[in-house]
Amino acid sequence: MTTIFDDLLATNKVCAASYDGAGLSRTPARHLAIVTCMDTRIDPIGQLGLKRGDAHILRNAGGRVNDDALRSLVLSVQLLGVTAIAVIGHTDCATAKITNESVRATLIEKGVDPGVVTDLDVHPVGDQQQAIRDDLALLASSPLLPHDLALAGFIFDVETGELEPVSS
Amino acid sequence: MTTIFDDLLATNKVCAASYDGAGLSRTPARHLAIVTCMDTRIDPIGQLGLKRGDAHILRNAGGRVNDDALRSLVLSVQLLGVTAIAVIGHTDCATAKITNESVRATLIEKGVDPGVVTDLDVHPVGDQQQAIRDDLALLASSPLLPHDLALAGFIFDVETGELEPVSS
Protein backbone atom coordinates (compact mmCIF):
# COMPACT_ATOMS: atom_id res chain seq x y z
CA MET A 1 0.00 0.00 0.00
CA THR A 2 1.28 3.47 -0.85
CA THR A 3 1.51 5.66 2.23
CA ILE A 4 1.71 9.42 2.53
CA PHE A 5 5.42 8.98 3.25
CA ASP A 6 5.93 7.17 -0.08
CA ASP A 7 4.21 10.13 -1.73
CA LEU A 8 6.50 12.61 0.05
CA LEU A 9 9.61 10.68 -1.00
CA ALA A 10 8.46 10.48 -4.62
CA THR A 11 7.66 14.20 -4.76
CA ASN A 12 10.93 15.04 -3.03
CA LYS A 13 12.85 13.27 -5.81
CA VAL A 14 11.21 15.58 -8.35
CA CYS A 15 11.85 18.69 -6.20
CA ALA A 16 15.50 17.70 -5.59
CA ALA A 17 16.21 17.89 -9.33
CA SER A 18 15.86 21.68 -9.11
CA TYR A 19 17.29 22.10 -5.59
CA ASP A 20 19.10 25.42 -5.12
CA GLY A 21 20.62 24.93 -1.66
CA ALA A 22 24.04 23.41 -2.48
CA GLY A 23 26.85 25.42 -0.94
CA LEU A 24 24.57 27.61 1.19
CA SER A 25 25.64 28.37 4.75
CA ARG A 26 23.87 27.36 7.91
CA THR A 27 24.36 30.99 8.98
CA PRO A 28 21.27 32.91 7.80
CA ALA A 29 22.26 35.24 4.94
CA ARG A 30 19.83 37.91 6.20
CA HIS A 31 20.76 37.38 9.88
CA LEU A 32 17.06 36.85 10.51
CA ALA A 33 15.02 34.42 12.60
CA ILE A 34 11.25 34.07 12.35
CA VAL A 35 9.05 32.56 15.05
CA THR A 36 5.61 31.61 13.81
CA CYS A 37 2.77 29.10 14.15
CA MET A 38 2.60 25.56 12.75
CA ASP A 39 -0.72 26.51 11.06
CA THR A 40 -1.43 24.97 7.64
CA ARG A 41 -1.96 28.33 5.94
CA ILE A 42 1.43 29.79 6.82
CA ASP A 43 4.38 29.53 4.42
CA PRO A 44 6.95 31.92 5.89
CA ILE A 45 9.36 31.62 2.97
CA GLY A 46 6.73 32.09 0.28
CA GLN A 47 4.79 34.91 1.87
CA LEU A 48 7.78 37.02 2.91
CA GLY A 49 9.75 36.66 -0.30
CA LEU A 50 12.58 34.89 1.50
CA LYS A 51 15.04 32.68 -0.31
CA ARG A 52 16.51 29.40 0.89
CA GLY A 53 19.48 30.32 3.09
CA ASP A 54 18.04 33.62 4.32
CA ALA A 55 16.58 32.86 7.75
CA HIS A 56 16.05 30.49 10.62
CA ILE A 57 12.39 29.56 10.87
CA LEU A 58 10.94 28.34 14.16
CA ARG A 59 7.38 27.05 14.32
CA ASN A 60 5.19 25.72 17.11
CA ALA A 61 1.51 25.76 18.04
CA GLY A 62 0.72 29.45 18.46
CA GLY A 63 4.11 30.74 17.32
CA ARG A 64 5.11 31.47 20.88
CA VAL A 65 8.52 32.37 22.27
CA ASN A 66 8.42 29.69 24.95
CA ASP A 67 11.37 27.95 26.61
CA ASP A 68 12.07 25.79 23.59
CA ALA A 69 11.91 28.66 21.10
CA LEU A 70 14.28 30.57 23.36
CA ARG A 71 16.67 27.57 23.35
CA SER A 72 16.67 27.63 19.55
CA LEU A 73 17.07 31.42 19.38
CA VAL A 74 20.08 31.33 21.72
CA LEU A 75 21.80 29.16 19.09
CA SER A 76 20.54 31.42 16.26
CA VAL A 77 21.84 34.58 17.88
CA GLN A 78 24.90 33.51 19.83
CA LEU A 79 26.33 30.94 17.41
CA LEU A 80 24.82 31.61 14.01
CA GLY A 81 24.81 35.36 13.48
CA VAL A 82 21.12 36.24 13.85
CA THR A 83 20.56 39.91 14.77
CA ALA A 84 16.85 40.33 13.97
CA ILE A 85 13.85 38.31 15.17
CA ALA A 86 10.27 38.57 13.90
CA VAL A 87 7.45 37.00 15.93
CA ILE A 88 4.47 36.34 13.65
CA GLY A 89 1.06 35.30 14.97
CA HIS A 90 -1.97 34.87 12.75
CA THR A 91 -5.73 35.28 12.58
CA ASP A 92 -8.00 32.27 13.26
CA CYS A 93 -5.31 30.58 15.38
CA ALA A 94 -6.42 27.37 17.09
CA THR A 95 -4.51 28.30 20.25
CA ALA A 96 -6.71 31.39 20.64
CA LYS A 97 -9.84 29.21 20.67
CA ILE A 98 -8.90 26.72 23.38
CA THR A 99 -8.24 26.60 27.09
CA ASN A 100 -6.18 24.05 28.99
CA GLU A 101 -9.44 22.81 30.50
CA SER A 102 -11.12 22.33 27.09
CA VAL A 103 -8.10 20.45 25.70
CA ARG A 104 -7.84 18.22 28.79
CA ALA A 105 -11.55 17.36 28.47
CA THR A 106 -11.14 16.51 24.77
CA LEU A 107 -8.17 14.24 25.48
CA ILE A 108 -10.06 12.39 28.21
CA GLU A 109 -13.05 11.96 25.86
CA LYS A 110 -10.65 10.43 23.34
CA GLY A 111 -9.46 7.88 25.86
CA VAL A 112 -6.33 9.51 27.25
CA ASP A 113 -5.65 8.58 30.89
CA PRO A 114 -6.99 11.49 33.00
CA GLY A 115 -3.90 11.13 35.19
CA VAL A 116 -1.52 12.21 32.42
CA VAL A 117 -3.45 15.34 31.39
CA THR A 118 -3.73 16.93 34.82
CA ASP A 119 -0.70 19.15 34.32
CA LEU A 120 -0.90 19.52 30.53
CA ASP A 121 -0.33 23.13 29.48
CA VAL A 122 -0.92 23.68 25.76
CA HIS A 123 -0.09 27.41 25.94
CA PRO A 124 -3.47 28.86 24.99
CA VAL A 125 -3.30 32.42 23.67
CA GLY A 126 -5.82 34.89 25.02
CA ASP A 127 -5.16 38.32 23.48
CA GLN A 128 -2.86 37.58 20.58
CA GLN A 129 -1.49 41.12 20.17
CA GLN A 130 -0.63 41.13 23.87
CA ALA A 131 0.92 37.65 23.66
CA ILE A 132 3.24 38.89 20.91
CA ARG A 133 4.13 42.00 22.90
CA ASP A 134 4.90 39.75 25.88
CA ASP A 135 7.08 37.50 23.72
CA LEU A 136 9.02 40.49 22.35
CA ALA A 137 9.53 41.79 25.89
CA LEU A 138 10.82 38.37 26.92
CA LEU A 139 13.35 38.42 24.08
CA ALA A 140 14.40 42.00 24.87
CA SER A 141 15.06 41.15 28.50
CA SER A 142 16.49 37.62 28.26
CA PRO A 143 19.85 37.35 30.02
CA LEU A 144 20.80 34.74 27.39
CA LEU A 145 20.59 37.21 24.50
CA PRO A 146 22.29 40.53 23.68
CA HIS A 147 20.26 43.70 24.19
CA ASP A 148 20.72 45.16 20.71
CA LEU A 149 18.60 42.67 18.77
CA ALA A 150 16.14 44.09 16.25
CA LEU A 151 12.71 42.79 17.30
CA ALA A 152 9.28 43.12 15.70
CA GLY A 153 5.85 41.48 15.93
CA PHE A 154 3.25 40.91 13.25
CA ILE A 155 -0.13 39.26 12.74
CA PHE A 156 -0.58 37.33 9.49
CA ASP A 157 -4.11 37.44 8.07
CA VAL A 158 -4.87 33.91 6.82
CA GLU A 159 -7.67 35.21 4.55
CA THR A 160 -5.67 37.93 2.76
CA GLY A 161 -2.05 36.82 3.17
CA GLU A 162 -1.13 40.23 4.56
CA LEU A 163 1.06 41.00 7.57
CA GLU A 164 0.08 43.72 10.02
CA PRO A 165 2.64 45.07 12.49
CA VAL A 166 1.81 44.69 16.17
CA SER A 167 2.05 48.08 17.85
CA SER A 168 4.23 48.28 20.93
CA MET B 1 16.39 54.08 7.98
CA THR B 2 14.89 51.08 6.25
CA THR B 3 15.03 47.98 8.43
CA ILE B 4 14.79 44.34 7.49
CA PHE B 5 11.22 44.44 8.87
CA ASP B 6 10.28 47.23 6.42
CA ASP B 7 11.66 45.02 3.66
CA LEU B 8 9.60 42.03 4.84
CA LEU B 9 6.42 44.13 4.96
CA ALA B 10 7.03 45.53 1.48
CA THR B 11 7.71 42.10 0.00
CA ASN B 12 4.70 40.66 1.81
CA LYS B 13 2.43 43.19 0.09
CA VAL B 14 3.62 41.89 -3.28
CA CYS B 15 3.22 38.23 -2.20
CA ALA B 16 -0.26 38.88 -0.76
CA ALA B 17 -1.53 39.90 -4.20
CA SER B 18 -1.25 36.26 -5.31
CA TYR B 19 -2.16 34.68 -1.95
CA ASP B 20 -3.95 31.34 -2.34
CA GLY B 21 -4.94 30.63 1.27
CA ALA B 22 -8.39 32.24 1.51
CA GLY B 23 -10.98 29.76 2.72
CA LEU B 24 -8.48 27.04 3.63
CA SER B 25 -9.04 25.12 6.85
CA ARG B 26 -6.79 25.08 9.87
CA THR B 27 -7.21 21.29 9.73
CA PRO B 28 -4.37 19.95 7.55
CA ALA B 29 -5.83 18.66 4.25
CA ARG B 30 -3.32 15.80 4.17
CA HIS B 31 -3.69 15.06 7.93
CA LEU B 32 0.08 15.44 8.14
CA ALA B 33 2.47 17.11 10.59
CA ILE B 34 6.17 17.60 9.91
CA VAL B 35 8.78 18.19 12.62
CA THR B 36 12.03 19.59 11.26
CA CYS B 37 14.95 21.91 11.99
CA MET B 38 15.02 25.72 11.82
CA ASP B 39 18.02 25.48 9.45
CA THR B 40 18.25 28.06 6.65
CA ARG B 41 18.43 25.48 3.90
CA ILE B 42 15.17 23.72 4.74
CA ASP B 43 11.90 24.68 3.02
CA PRO B 44 9.53 21.87 3.99
CA ILE B 45 6.73 23.07 1.72
CA GLY B 46 8.93 23.57 -1.34
CA GLN B 47 10.99 20.44 -1.08
CA LEU B 48 8.13 18.03 -0.35
CA GLY B 49 5.73 19.38 -2.94
CA LEU B 50 3.23 20.38 -0.28
CA LYS B 51 0.59 22.99 -0.87
CA ARG B 52 -0.59 25.66 1.57
CA GLY B 53 -3.24 24.00 3.75
CA ASP B 54 -1.72 20.51 3.57
CA ALA B 55 0.26 20.14 6.81
CA HIS B 56 1.26 21.43 10.20
CA ILE B 57 4.94 22.32 10.20
CA LEU B 58 6.89 22.42 13.45
CA ARG B 59 10.48 23.67 13.50
CA ASN B 60 13.08 24.05 16.22
CA ALA B 61 16.85 23.82 16.52
CA GLY B 62 17.60 20.21 15.58
CA GLY B 63 14.07 19.29 14.60
CA ARG B 64 13.58 17.38 17.82
CA VAL B 65 10.38 15.99 19.33
CA ASN B 66 10.94 17.63 22.69
CA ASP B 67 8.31 18.64 25.25
CA ASP B 68 7.22 21.68 23.25
CA ALA B 69 6.96 19.80 19.95
CA LEU B 70 4.89 17.19 21.80
CA ARG B 71 2.59 19.96 23.13
CA SER B 72 2.04 21.16 19.56
CA LEU B 73 1.53 17.63 18.21
CA VAL B 74 -1.09 16.87 20.86
CA LEU B 75 -3.13 19.74 19.39
CA SER B 76 -2.37 18.58 15.81
CA VAL B 77 -3.48 15.02 16.46
CA GLN B 78 -6.20 15.31 19.11
CA LEU B 79 -7.90 18.51 17.90
CA LEU B 80 -6.93 19.03 14.27
CA GLY B 81 -7.10 15.65 12.56
CA VAL B 82 -3.43 14.80 12.05
CA THR B 83 -2.83 11.06 11.62
CA ALA B 84 0.72 11.01 10.19
CA ILE B 85 3.91 12.59 11.53
CA ALA B 86 7.26 12.86 9.73
CA VAL B 87 10.39 13.75 11.73
CA ILE B 88 13.01 15.21 9.39
CA GLY B 89 16.59 15.84 10.46
CA HIS B 90 19.28 17.05 8.07
CA THR B 91 22.97 16.81 7.21
CA ASP B 92 25.39 19.49 8.51
CA CYS B 93 23.08 20.31 11.45
CA ALA B 94 24.52 22.79 13.95
CA THR B 95 23.07 20.83 16.86
CA ALA B 96 25.23 17.82 15.88
CA LYS B 97 28.38 19.96 16.16
CA ILE B 98 27.93 21.39 19.65
CA THR B 99 27.82 20.25 23.24
CA ASN B 100 26.12 21.98 26.16
CA GLU B 101 29.60 22.75 27.49
CA SER B 102 30.77 24.38 24.24
CA VAL B 103 27.63 26.52 24.01
CA ARG B 104 27.88 27.58 27.66
CA ALA B 105 31.53 28.61 27.10
CA THR B 106 30.59 30.61 23.99
CA LEU B 107 27.82 32.45 25.85
CA ILE B 108 30.13 33.35 28.71
CA GLU B 109 32.76 34.61 26.22
CA LYS B 110 30.04 36.81 24.74
CA GLY B 111 29.31 38.37 28.10
CA VAL B 112 26.37 36.28 29.33
CA ASP B 113 26.26 35.94 33.12
CA PRO B 114 27.81 32.53 33.93
CA GLY B 115 25.11 32.06 36.57
CA VAL B 116 22.32 31.90 33.96
CA VAL B 117 24.01 29.34 31.69
CA THR B 118 24.74 26.70 34.31
CA ASP B 119 21.60 24.70 33.56
CA LEU B 120 21.24 25.61 29.89
CA ASP B 121 20.42 22.55 27.79
CA VAL B 122 20.45 23.28 24.06
CA HIS B 123 19.56 19.66 23.11
CA PRO B 124 22.73 18.70 21.25
CA VAL B 125 22.26 15.78 18.85
CA GLY B 126 24.91 13.05 18.94
CA ASP B 127 23.93 10.34 16.48
CA GLN B 128 21.24 11.93 14.34
CA GLN B 129 19.74 8.69 13.00
CA GLN B 130 19.44 7.41 16.56
CA ALA B 131 17.96 10.74 17.74
CA ILE B 132 15.24 10.42 15.12
CA ARG B 133 14.55 6.80 16.07
CA ASP B 134 14.30 7.91 19.71
CA ASP B 135 11.88 10.70 18.76
CA LEU B 136 9.68 8.30 16.79
CA ALA B 137 9.68 5.88 19.74
CA LEU B 138 8.63 8.73 22.01
CA LEU B 139 5.71 9.57 19.72
CA ALA B 140 4.70 5.89 19.43
CA SER B 141 4.61 5.48 23.20
CA SER B 142 3.25 8.85 24.35
CA PRO B 143 0.20 8.44 26.57
CA LEU B 144 -1.07 11.76 25.13
CA LEU B 145 -1.35 10.37 21.59
CA PRO B 146 -3.23 7.48 19.99
CA HIS B 147 -1.23 4.37 19.11
CA ASP B 148 -2.25 4.13 15.45
CA LEU B 149 -0.37 7.18 14.15
CA ALA B 150 1.65 6.73 10.96
CA LEU B 151 5.24 7.70 11.86
CA ALA B 152 8.39 8.00 9.76
CA GLY B 153 11.84 9.56 10.03
CA PHE B 154 14.04 11.06 7.33
CA ILE B 155 17.36 12.86 6.88
CA PHE B 156 17.38 15.78 4.43
CA ASP B 157 20.66 16.23 2.57
CA VAL B 158 21.30 19.99 2.43
CA GLU B 159 23.68 19.59 -0.51
CA THR B 160 21.39 17.56 -2.77
CA GLY B 161 17.90 18.39 -1.51
CA GLU B 162 17.11 14.69 -1.19
CA LEU B 163 15.35 12.90 1.68
CA GLU B 164 16.62 9.54 2.90
CA PRO B 165 14.42 7.39 5.14
CA VAL B 166 15.80 6.56 8.58
CA SER B 167 15.72 2.79 9.07
CA SER B 168 14.01 1.53 12.19
Q: Where are the domains of chain B?
A: 25-96+124-165
pLDDT of residue B39: 98
Size of interface A-B (CB pairs under 8 A): 271
Residues 56-85 in B contacting A (C-alpha not used; CB under 8 Å): 56-61, 66-69, 71-72, 74-76, 78-80, 84
Residue of chain A whose Cα is closest to the Cα of B84: A4
For residue A168, what pLDDT band results from cuts at 50, 70 and 90?
Answer: confident
Q: Do residues B72 and A38 lie in contact, with contact meaning Cβ atoms separated by under 8 Å? A: yes
Residue of chain B whose Cα is closest to the Cα of A65: B68
Using the predicted structure, report yes or no on whether residue B2 has a pLDDT greater than 80.
no
Contact B103 A79 (CB under 8 A): yes
pLDDT, average across residues A9-37? 97
At B38-63, the pLDDT tens digits run 999 999 999 999 999 999 999 999 99
At A34-70, the pLDDT tens digits run 999 999 999 999 999 999 999 999 999 999 999 999 9
User: Percent of chain B having pLDDT more than 70?
Assistant: 99
Residue A69: closest CA among A131, A120, A7:
A131
Using the predicted structure, report yes or no on whether residue A76 has a pLDDT greater than 70.
yes
Using the predicted structure, report yes or no on whether residue A118 has a pLDDT greater than 80.
yes
Burial of B166 from C-beta contacts in 10 A (0-12 / 13-18 / 19+): buried
Where helices occur in chain A by DSSP H, the ranges are 4-16, 44-48, 67-78, 100-109, 114-117, 128-141
Q: For B78, which of A27, A43, A107 is closest by C-beta distance?
A: A107
**Chain A hits for B16, Cβ within 8 Å:** 47, 160-163
pLDDT, average across residues B150-168? 96
Q: For B4, which of A15, A19, A30 is closest by C-beta distance?
A: A30
Q: Do residues B47 and A19 lie in contact, with contact meaning Cβ atoms separated by under 8 Å? A: yes
The pTM of this model reads: 0.97
Top residue of B13, B58, B59, B82 to mutate, by most chain A CBs within 10 Å, is B59
Could you tell me which residues come within 8 angstroms of residue A65 by beta carbon, excluding any fewer than 6 positions away? Answer: A35, A73, A87, A135, A136, A138, A139
CA distance B7 to chain A (A): 9
Residue of chain A whose Cα is closest to the Cα of B13: A162
Distance CA A70, CA B146 (A): 29
pLDDT of residue A126: 86
pLDDT of residue A1: 67
Strand pairing class (B150-156; B163-165): antiparallel
Mean pLDDT of chain B: 96
What CATH class does A25-96+124-165 carry?
A: alpha beta
Using the predicted structure, report yes or no on whether residue B168 has a pLDDT greater than 80.
no
CA distance A36 to chain B (A): 9
Using the predicted structure, report yes or no on whether residue B1 has a pLDDT greater than 80.
no
pLDDT, average across residues B22-32? 97
pLDDT of residue A2: 75
Exposure string of B131-140, with b = 16+ CB inside 10 Å and e = fewer, is bbbebbebbe
At B57-81, the pLDDT tens digits run 999 999 999 999 999 999 999 999 9
At B95-121, the pLDDT tens digits run 999 999 999 999 999 999 999 999 999
Residue A157: closest CA among A41, A32, A46, A50:
A41
User: Is the backbone of residue A125 left (phi > 0), alpha (psi -120 to 50) or beta?
Assistant: beta
Residue length of chain B: 168
Residue B36: closest CA among B51, B58, B56, B53:
B58
